């Protein structure tokens, strides 16, 4: 077995959860308890010249900021580290080690700037710091590239190098492969570290696998209290402490780590939890940046299967660096399942004839003003179409489905109403079995120039215009408000992104309706009050 030493990353990696705003009192508490626990290395935050000094945040523009935060505290036997994402903090902001509270600096080394970053590490070493070289996203390196990188690291001869599994992609066999490769090449006096993320729930088991590897080299394992950290979180420090005490002859005080969790961490977790989540699994299983899944999940238009299929299409060179424009392009390409829908339009138009169409939306007014809606139906006998949901106690003839997520949610209801309600679906939605009654080309109905191109009401209005419908009434289209759970009669239909886009969505839909009226192609009236109506 290797001898191990532990590094607490709570104040640095954990800061991704709360933007490093722990509050100075809690920072001191977390620091002092890590010292009392006997943790070998404590990473106290980021050095980043883009950030102003704030006594309550564990991210400072220079080493003097770290001095102000931690210099008057008892460091015990712990060594104090900070981290720099190379390129975010110039060497001028770094005091000599002898004049700083910081004993060492860890440098995030990105593949595309790795050689420049190593030169920067050399400058830090000259200033007297213990230097950790942290090649992030290690899974992005081939064996040949890693061999070459270790050769350059050997020339630098730092205190330590870490295997950084930024997105939690490594399983045990791949981790051991990287470990054996690096261990066989790295200067014997350089310690080897492992920084895990928990996307696959493997951070702890992988760490233990390394502990059990035979080596004369010191192994440095990163952890954070309760696993607090970016995306799915880090390896829980308390588990590493428990294992080290039980199997490695260590004597860390686990009670102090538990106090860290109880007094400083749980209140953060309760407000903004981290840990294993579906989005992190999706990205880890597709070797890509977590923001790709977040971007697609926010749309609330895709099934999980569809998101997985889109992630699989990401180019290798774009997987580990989030590119919003690129993922949006893939999303639209995936949705644009073009079909010839002329026959479907013709049949649908024949079924409706010259009748008025009443479109039912899922807004709260559909319940509050039910009597008004029912009276309108009784007096006008319209053809009733609902959008992405089936209303209670209103007999609809058609349901318009433009959203895979909504389609999956409808599930059993569609089965219940099979034969009673006809399905109108856009081509981006795939039936679970059989076929929809009518399918229409998604591409021809969206507005690619709007931020949310597949807004369902404008899509249906465009379809009705295309088949020559002249009279349309709208009920249950209240418009959006930013407040949570305030937009739908059924709160389970709420979109998370609406709070950021409510006004834009309202203005956009209002303008679509205004234009249709101005063209005099379609008479549109509201049965219930709406933000889409001009007052």
What is the predicted pLDDT for the residue at 338?
Answer: 59
What is the predicted pLDDT for the residue at 504?
Answer: 84
Which domains, from first to last, does the chain contain?
A: 4-271 (3.20.20.70), 278-335 (no CATH), 342-526 (no CATH)
Please count the other Cβ atoms lying within 10 Å of the Cβ belonging to residue 115. 11
Least confident of 396-400, 409-413, 421-425: 409-413
DSSP bridge pairs for 399: 386, 423
Least confident of 40-49, 217-226, 258-267, 425-434: 425-434
DSSP character for 57? B
How much is the average pLDDT of 203-227?
95
d(CA 435, CA 520): 35
R_g of the chain computed on alpha carbons: 29
> Do 70 and 60 touch, CB atoms closer than 8 A?
no
pLDDT band with cut points at 50, 70 and 90 for residue 37: very high
How much is the average pLDDT of 206-226?
94
Structure tokens at 133: 């070289």
Angle formed by the axes of helices 304-311 and 290-299, nearest 10°: 140
What is the predicted pLDDT for the residue at 488?
Answer: 64
> Do 237 and 223 touch, CB atoms closer than 8 A?
yes
DSSP character for 418? B
Number of H helices and E strands in the chain, helices first, is: 20, 16
**Coil, helix or strand for 379?**
helix
Residues 6 or more apart in contact with residue 180 via CB below 8 angstroms:
none
Average pLDDT, the chain: 90
Burial of 394 (0-12, 13-18, 19+ CB in 10 A): middle
What is the predicted pLDDT for the residue at 240?
Answer: 97
* pLDDT score of 278 more than 90: no
* CA proximity to 195, closest of 30, 35, 41, 38: 41
d(CA 313, CA 325): 14
Question: In residues, how long is the chain?
Answer: 535
pLDDT in tens, 293-326: 888 888 766 777 788 889 999 998 888 889 999 9
pLDDT in tens, 96-109: 999 999 999 999 99
d(CA 156, CA 421): 71
More confident residue, 443 or 23: 23
């Amino acid at each position: 077995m290797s001898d191990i030493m532990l590094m607490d990353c709570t104040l640095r990696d954990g800061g991704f959860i709360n933007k490093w705003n722990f509050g100075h009192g809690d920072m001191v508490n977390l620091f002092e308890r890590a010292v009392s626990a006997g943790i070998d290395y404590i990473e106290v935050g980021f050095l980043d010249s883009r950030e102003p000094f704030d006594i309550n945040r564990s991210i400072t523009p220079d080493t003097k900021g770290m001095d102000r935060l931690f210099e008057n505290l008892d460091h015990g036997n712990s060594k104090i580290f900070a981290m720099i994402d190379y390129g975010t903090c110039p060497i001028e902001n770094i005091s000599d080690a002898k004049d700083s509270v910081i004993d060492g600096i860890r440098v995030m080394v990105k593949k595309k700037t790795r050689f420049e970053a190593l030169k920067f590490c050399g400058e830090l070493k000259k200033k007297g710091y213990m230097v950790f070289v942290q090649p992030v996203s290690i899974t992005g390196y081939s064996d040949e590239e890693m061999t070459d990188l270790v050769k350059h690291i050997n020339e630098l001869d730092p205190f330590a190098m870490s295997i950084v599994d930024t997105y939690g992609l490594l399983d045990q066999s791949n981790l051991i492969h990287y470990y054996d490769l690096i261990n066989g090449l790295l200067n014997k006096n350089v310690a080897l570290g492992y920084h895990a993320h928990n996307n696959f729930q493997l951070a702890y088991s992988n760490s233990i696998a390394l502990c059990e590897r035979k080596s004369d080299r010191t192994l440095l394992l990163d952890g954070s209290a309760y696993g607090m950290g970016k995306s799915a979180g880090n390896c829980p420090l308390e588990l590493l402490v428990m294992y080290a005490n039980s199997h490695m002859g260590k004597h860390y005080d686990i009670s102090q780590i538990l106090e860290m969790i109880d007094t400083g961490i749980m209140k953060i977790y309760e407000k903004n939890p981290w840990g294993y989540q579906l989005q992190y699994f999706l990205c880890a299983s597709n070797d890509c940046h977590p923001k790709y899944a977040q971007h697609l999940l926010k749309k609330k238009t895709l099934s999980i299967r569809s998101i997985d299929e889109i992630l699989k299409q990401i180019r290798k060179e774009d997987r580990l660096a989030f590119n919003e424009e690129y993922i949006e392009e893939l999303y639209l390409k995936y949705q644009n399942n073009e079909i010839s829908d002329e026959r479907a339009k013709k049949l649908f138009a024949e079924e409706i004839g010259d009748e008025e169409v009443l479109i039912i939306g899922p807004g709260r007014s559909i319940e509050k003003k039910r009597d008004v809606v029912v009276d309108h139906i009784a007096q006008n006998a319209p053809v009733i179409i609902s959008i992405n949901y089936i209303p209670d106690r209103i007999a609809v003839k058609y349901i318009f489905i433009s959203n895979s997520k909504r389609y999956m949610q409808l599930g059993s209801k569609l089965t219940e109403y099979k034969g009673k309600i006809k399905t109108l679906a856009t081509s981006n939605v795939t039936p679970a079995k059989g076929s929809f009654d009518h399918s229409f080309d998604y591409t021809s109905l969206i507005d690619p120039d709007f931020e949310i191109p597949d807004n369902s009401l404008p899509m249906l209005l465009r379809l009705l215009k295309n088949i020559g419908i002249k009279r349309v009434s709208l009920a249950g289209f209240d418009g959006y408000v930013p407040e949570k759970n305030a937009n739908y009669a059924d709160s389970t239909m709420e979109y998370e992104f609406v709070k950021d886009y409510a006004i834009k969505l309202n203005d956009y839909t209002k303008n679509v309706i205004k234009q249709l009226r101005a063209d005099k192609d379609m008479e549109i009236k509201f049965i219930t009050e709406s933000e889409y109506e001009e007052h």
